[in-house]
Amino acid sequence: MNGVSGIQGFWQAIAEGRLVFASGVPVFMVLLLVVLVPLLVWYLYGRTTRPLTQNDRIALTAMRSMALVMLLLMLLRPIIQEWETNPQETYLAILVDDSQSMQINDGSTSQQSRIQAVQNALSPSVLSALREQYQLRTFAFGRDVRRLNSPNDLTAADNRSDISTAISHVGEQLGSLPLNAVVVISDGGDNSNLDPATTAEVLGGREVPVFTVGVGQPEVTPDIAIRNVRSDATLLDSEQVDVELSVSQTGFAADAVQISIWDGDTQVASRQVALGNDGETRRYTLPVVPDRNAAIRYEARIETLTGERLVENNRYQFLVDNSLPETRNILYVDGHPRNEFKFIRRALDADDDLRLASYLQTGPGRFYRQGIENALELSTGFPEDKEALYAYEGLLIGDVELDFFSEGQLGLIRDFVAERGGGLLVSGMVDDAFIDTPLSDVLPLELVRSNSLPGQLQGGIRRGAHATGTMFTPVLTTEGEFANALRLGSSDSENRTRWQDLPELQGIYVTGQAKAGATVLLEHPDLQYQRQPLPVLATQRYGSGRSVALTTASTWRWQMLMPSEDDSHERLWRQMARWLTDEALARVEIELNQESYHAGDEVDVSVRVRDNVFELDNNASVWLQVTMPNGEIAEQAMSWDINDDGTYRATLPATDEGVYQLLVDVTSTSGDGATLEQQGSFAVTPSLREYNDAGLDRRLLQRVAGSSGGRYYELSELDSMLTDLASAPTPYARQVDRDIWHHAFWLGLLLLMLFAEWAYRRYRGLS
């Protein structure tokens, strides 16, 4: 230990509590003596035979005190306790982050990427010195962990960082060996679902410290990033898809930038937008109309601005599944021929995605079927069992009286919504005779008896000056303005204008107020009940499905009194029919564990199977066929999940980027024994998880080190880390006492102080 390092080691040993005295005197007593010696010397120099100047007294006190303190410390024999291991007796593991974020040049390493800085730091001389001291094992990690022969083999190409798995892997691989420590070199960009600090704590419990080395800057600026893309297909006839981009930026506040959507090499939408403040995430919407019935992989783009450090997060791929949907079956029953029935049928018949089967009472005991698929459908009237009613996704009920349904059929309607997840819409009058029946449970309105209503609201719709029969323009509530089912235009302003242009409706059936959990979408502009506007259109969730109440029978006026080219009436009814049936359960449903995937991910496919009465089916034979992006087809049987009724699972590797098509084939051995098919798709896209929030995460790396008994260092402090590593207390290190006075520096310093004091006294003429 040379002189300079001896002084540094002395003070560091005091700070770390490694300085002790062989004489057994506590350190605090020694420090007290060190304080008292100068006071005593100052006092004695004040009693000299010849008076001293203030400067002489200070100089002589300082030199004599230093000499006496050093002599005192020599007599007490200070030693520094250190830990050391014999060369080559223990193992050292070095884990280097090899994920894509390590490609970033964030200005922290003299125009080098992070991985280049690590390669330079782990020079041959550094690794050679480590190999002389340890059995060295080096690893690269990203999604997985692999042995690393040389830092030059690092590629920074993995699209995921999993520090926890990397630490766990080393612990398992070297756990039976004398592992001295683990070193993790990373930017802290962990995007796994595990907490690496918890894994490091396990190693710490085995007295294996984890030392972490941070690479990069806390912020990558300036930068623009697409954080997320969400695409929602609207219910409009145009099948427009509203694509919402979440964009954040640092360093380009309030700048204008072009955002766009691309289908391959074709731009399908674009918009000039103003960016938000630094660190703010803003959302921008672009409408896209798919040009084909297929699962389409689009790409959102932001133009690159001058000076931007990170351009990889300026693009984001996402999937819009515009495949032809299965036909939605809707049953419409009405108690008598009405204009409303005629125009609703006309609107829905023009939609290829909808099939409207109707059962219309045309007179006493006389009924008319329309839109049926075969002669047996509705041949005995309204369905009387689950299998027949559950074949439909939606149910429309017009003006019918209580005796139209049996008690069992009313219970069946309730179950249709609650269990099957179907949609129920009641249009027109709901007789108060339905109070206390299963139908009243399902409806979003509280049915009240007519004679309990205020006089001006009694008697249903009456012509003339009666309040319930007057003309009115329904008012969109706040929820109604944003309801897709009621959109008549792509923009809010166009939507409001088209609603204002609609003809007035005539008459409202007063049935009561909306229930507590219901949502009112349209309300009467004037009439109130219990100080609340009368609801014209209300909805609520009920079990697995939804119910809707439309308290007028005059929407046909929106067709008859508008120009022939206006499609408002048709559009509204088609959208309401789709919305009504949108969440109806299917007998075969495909669920994926993620919205999108990246190369190397595992795709967990879950299929839920129900029988013909929509009971979960545990006795089905389920096969999964996957069509890869390159056209190859693979098949596998799906396994029943014993812990989840009706659920069958399979796992697929996401290897190549592109769109994967799924086809599920189900043969049920219960119920009707039918063979069913269901299609699905998912996209494997380039990953952005390594480029979002790509700054150095010091806090995470500090937690990892602290939880295991290690320490955190910057890459520039790598030499200090290696020095500390050599003296870290581990089960394989032995304690060594080093006498710090066994160095010529300290003896020379003592003699120098004694000589200096003697020379000064002689110079001043003192004895």
Going from N- to C-terminal start, the domains of the chain cover: 3-81+737-763, 91-219+695-732, 223-286+297-319, 328-581, 588-684
Phi, psi (deg, nearest 5) at residue 363: 180, 180
Q: Could you give the CA distance from residue 434 to residue 454 in angstroms, rounded to a whole number?
A: 20
Fold of domain 223-286+297-319: Immunoglobulin-like (2.60.40)
What pLDDT is recorded for position 5? 44
- Asked, colleague to colleague, whether 223-286+297-319 and 588-684 share their fold, the answer is yes
Helix (H/G/I), strand (E/B), else coil: 115: helix
Which residue bears the tokens 């219901």? Answer: 518
430 and 443 Cβ atoms separated by less than 8 Å: yes
CA-based nearest residue to 581, from 357, 708, 384, 420: 420
636 and 607 Cβ atoms separated by less than 8 Å: no
Q: Could you give the CA distance from residue 556 to residue 485 in angstroms, rounded to a whole number?
A: 17
* List of the chain residues with pLDDT < 50: 1-6, 17
- Characterize 228-254 residue by residue with b for buried, 16 or more Cβ atoms within 10 angstroms of its Cβ, and e for exposed: bbebebbbbeeebbbbebebbbbbbee
pTM higher than the cut 0.85: no
700 class by beta-carbon count within 10 Å (0-12 exposed, 13-18 middle, 19+ buried) = buried
What pLDDT is recorded for position 429? 84
The first and second tokens of residue 402, run together, are 């209580």
What pLDDT is recorded for position 741? 66
Fold of domain 588-684: Immunoglobulin-like (2.60.40)
Judged by phi (left if over 0) then psi (alpha if -120 to 50, else beta), residue 507 lies in left
The first and second tokens of residue 445, run together, are 């309105």
- In the β-sheet with 145-147, what is the strand arrangement from edge to edge? 145-147, 135-141, 91-97, 179-186, 210-214, 712-714
Give the β-pairing of 639-640 and 633-637: unpaired
Helix axes 568-581, 339-349, angle to 10 degrees: 80
- DSSP annotation string for 695-758: S--HHHHHHHHHHHT--EEEGGGHHHHHHHHHT---TT-EEEEEETTSSHHHHHHHHHHHHHHH
What pLDDT is recorded for position 4? 37
547 and 442 Cβ atoms separated by less than 8 Å: yes
What pLDDT is recorded for position 511? 86
Give the CA count within 13 Å in the CB-facing half-sphere of 97. Answer: 35
What pLDDT is recorded for position 737? 67
Q: What's the Cα-to-Cα distance from 750 to each of 66, 100, 475, 739, 753, rounded to whole Å?
A: 8, 57, 97, 16, 5
| Proportion of the chain in helix, strand, coil states, percent, rounded to 5 | 30, 30, 40
Residue 547 carries which side chain, given as an amino acid letter?
S
Which residue bears the tokens 């007796």? Answer: 89
Alpha helices, DSSP H, located in 419-491: 438-442, 478-481
CA-based nearest residue to 57, from 47, 70, 69, 67: 47
**For the structural domain made of 328-581, what CATH number should be given?**
3.40.50.880
Phi, psi (deg, nearest 5) at residue 30: -65, -45
Tell me, rounded to whole angstroms, the distance of Cα 483 from its chain centroid.
Answer: 25
Q: What's the Cα-to-Cα distance from 84 to each of 203, 429, 710, 721, rounded to whole Å?
A: 20, 90, 16, 15
Q: Kindly report the CATH class assigned to 91-219+695-732.
A: alpha beta
Q: Could you give the CA distance from residue 695 to residue 688 in angstroms, rounded to a whole number?
A: 14
Alpha helices, DSSP H, located in 453-591: 478-481, 492-501, 557-560, 568-581
Q: In this structure, how many other beta carbons lie within 10 angstroms of the beta carbon of residue 176?
A: 7
Residue 512 gets which letter from DSSP?
A: -
Which residue bears the tokens 């006092």? Answer: 43
Q: What is the pLDDT of residues 194-238, one digit of tens each?
A: 999 999 999 999 989 999 999 999 988 899 999 999 987 655 555
Question: What secondary structure, in 3-state letters, does 228-280 show?
Answer: EEEEEECCCCCCCEEEEEEEEEECCCCCEEEEEEEECCEEEEEEEEECCCCCC
175 and 203 Cβ atoms separated by less than 8 Å: no
Phi, psi (deg, nearest 5) at residue 478: -60, -40
Q: Could you give the CA distance from residue 64 to residue 403 in angstroms, rounded to a whole number?
A: 117
